[in-house]
Amino acid sequence: MRVNKPDCRDAIDVLAKVGGFEIGGLAGIMLAAGAKRVPVVIDGFISAAAALIAFSLAPRIKDYMIASHSSVEKGHKIILDYIGLKPLFDLNLRLGEGTGAALGINLVEASIKILTEMATFNAAHVSERSKQ
């Protein structure tokens, strides 16, 4: 940090001076997804670093970010707090090669099915049965 002196107010400067191609690529994917209103699932520290770059460039992207989990890496929690994302779960995962996102995506898909396909008490006539 002392050598490269990134300007923390400039996401592109931070990315250029201390980021990597993978972080830049992920940030770009997140920005493109947000522009198309497609949600993205944030996994661990590296994807959170990319999310921070994307968020710094376009804060409204937060509406399309889903934090799958809270990693044991301290920086991960700091980034999620800064962006304002609440993780879906905390299983003490670390460096799991996307396992948090894999679990998170399934949880998101199950949630969508519950919201869109699950019958209400009225639709399932549960209320009527209980009156009989």
Residue 28 lies inside a defined structural domain of this protein:
yes
Residue given tokens 């921070």 in the structure block: 52
Q: Are 15 and 24 in contact (CB under 8 A)?
A: yes
**Model pLDDT, residue 129:** 54
Residue 49 lies inside a defined structural domain of this protein:
yes
Q: What is the tally of structural domains in the chain?
A: 1
**Model pLDDT, residue 110:** 95
**Model pLDDT, residue 119:** 84
Residue ranges in the chain modelled with pLDDT below 70: 96, 127-132
Which residue of the set 22, 97, 109, 128 is catalytic? 97
Domain containing 76: what range? Answer: 11-131
Q: How far apart are CA 51 and CA 132, in angstroms?
A: 54
**What's the CATH number where 25 sits?**
3.40.50.10210
Which one, of 74, 76, 93, 94, lies nearest residue 85 by Cα?
Answer: 76
**Model pLDDT, residue 6:** 86
Based on the residue annotation, tell me whether 128 is a catalytic residue of this protein.
Answer: no
Q: How far apart are CA 91 and CA 70, in angstroms?
A: 7
Q: Are 93 and 63 in contact (CB under 8 A)?
A: no
Residue 92 lies inside a defined structural domain of this protein:
yes
Q: How far apart are CA 61 and CA 108, in angstroms?
A: 18
Q: Taking the model in full, what pTM does it have?
A: 0.84
